[in-house]
């Protein structure tokens, strides 16, 4: 019985039921690990809870081949209605500030970010959302403008490109 209770409590903590003193959330998607490294550093700096937005089906190197028009990422990004499934959702209600991280794909956020936003709109309304991104060549401005256009009901703040050399 005691072991079952401890497993239950650990599960609740892992999905954000107990925010403790962490009033900020760093939620991020990272296909290759670049955005993950930046998100981990940001969460530490902000004393924020760290949450990975994981796709139900992980991306392979072949899936990420942007030169192949038939790759998974190319197909997803070509369809504005596409919303990849997320592996696990969490309760974001306790968090007052959201930092949302992603790599820039095709000049905007990957569709999985829209999946996460769609699932959390009621919990996000009124909270400041600070987008941050990683990219080898793109700026974050167009990605933030896209998010503002798609989700005008959310409280978007200035975005920041946070590559290793631009922290």
The per-residue pLDDT for 72 is: 67
The per-residue pLDDT for 65 is: 66
At the topology level, CATH places domain 21-166 in: Rossmann fold (3.40.50)
The per-residue pLDDT for 164 is: 57
The per-residue pLDDT for 11 is: 43
The per-residue pLDDT for 82 is: 66
For the purposes of burial, counting CB atoms within 10 Å of the CB of 86, is it exposed (0-12), middle (13-18) or buried (19 or more)?
middle
The per-residue pLDDT for 8 is: 41
Among 48, 16, 56, 17, CA closest to 130: 48
- Parse the chain into domains and list their residue ranges: 21-166
Angle subtended at Cα 161 by Cα 159 and Cα 164, rounded to the nearest 5 degrees: 150
The per-residue pLDDT for 136 is: 84
Q: Report residue 125 as tokens.
A: 């309304």
The per-residue pLDDT for 19 is: 43
The per-residue pLDDT for 68 is: 76
Q: Report residue 165 as tokens.
A: 């050399």
**In b/e form, how buried is each residue of 116-149, taking b as 16+ CB within 10 angstroms?**
bbebbeeebeebebbbbbbbeebebeebbeebee
The per-residue pLDDT for 62 is: 77
- Three-state DSSP class for 148? helix
The per-residue pLDDT for 54 is: 92
**In b/e form, how buried is each residue of 22-40, taking b as 16+ CB within 10 angstroms?**
bebbbbbbbbeebbbebbe
What is the mean pLDDT of each successive set of 10 residues along the chain, which is 167 residues long?
42 45 90 94 96 87 73 68 81 96 87 94 96 92 96 96 65
């Amino acid at each position: 019985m005691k072991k079952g209770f401890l497993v239950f409590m650990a599960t609740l903590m892992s999905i954000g039921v107990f925010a403790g003193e962490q009033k900020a959330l760093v939620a991020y998607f990272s296909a290759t690990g670049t955005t993950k490294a930046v998100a981990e550093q940001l969460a530490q700096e902000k004393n924020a809870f760290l949450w990975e937005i994981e796709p139900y089906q992980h991306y392979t190197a072949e899936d990420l081949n942007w030169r192949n028009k038939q790759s998974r990422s190319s197909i997803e990004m070509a369809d504005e209605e596409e919303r990849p499934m997320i592996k696990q959702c969490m309760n974001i209600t306790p968090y007052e500030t959201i930092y949302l991280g992603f790599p820039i794909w095709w000049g905007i956020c990957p569709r999985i970010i829209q999946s996460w936003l769609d699932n959390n709109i009621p919990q996000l309304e009124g909270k400041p959302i600070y987008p941050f991104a990683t990219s080898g060549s793109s700026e974050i401005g167009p990605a933030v403008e896209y998010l503002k256009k798609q989700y005008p009901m959310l409280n978007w703040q200035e975005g920041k490109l946070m590559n290793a050399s631009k922290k």
